[in-house]
Amino acid sequence: MELPNGIPSHDTFNRVFQHLDKDAFSSSLYRWSKELFRFLADKQVCIDGKVLCGTDRSGSKKAVYAL
């Protein structure tokens, strides 16, 4: 995929998502993920978790993790 103007910004993605039909998008995402999980059922998927820097310093709250 060629992107002559570079990678779209957060604002561009936000405008696109605002105009999507939420029910149609949700249904499509569900069908796609269901097919993906069926494809990956017998495969190993490695996931690497990270702690977001500085999130463990906010008092008694636990650190925020990202996958």
**Is 36 inside a domain boundary?**
yes
Q: Which class for 25: exposed (0-12), middle (13-18), buried (19 or more C-beta within 10 A)?
A: exposed
pLDDT at 57: 67
pTM over the 0.75 mark: no
DSSP assignment, residue 60? T
Helices (H), 1-67: 10-19, 22-40
Number of domains in the chain: 1
**Is 3 inside a domain boundary?**
no
Backbone angles phi, psi at 54, to 5 degrees: 85, -10
Summarised one tens digit per residue, pLDDT across range 51-66 is: 777 776 666 677 777 7
**Is 5 inside a domain boundary?**
no
- Which residues form the domain of 50? 10-66
**Is 27 inside a domain boundary?**
yes
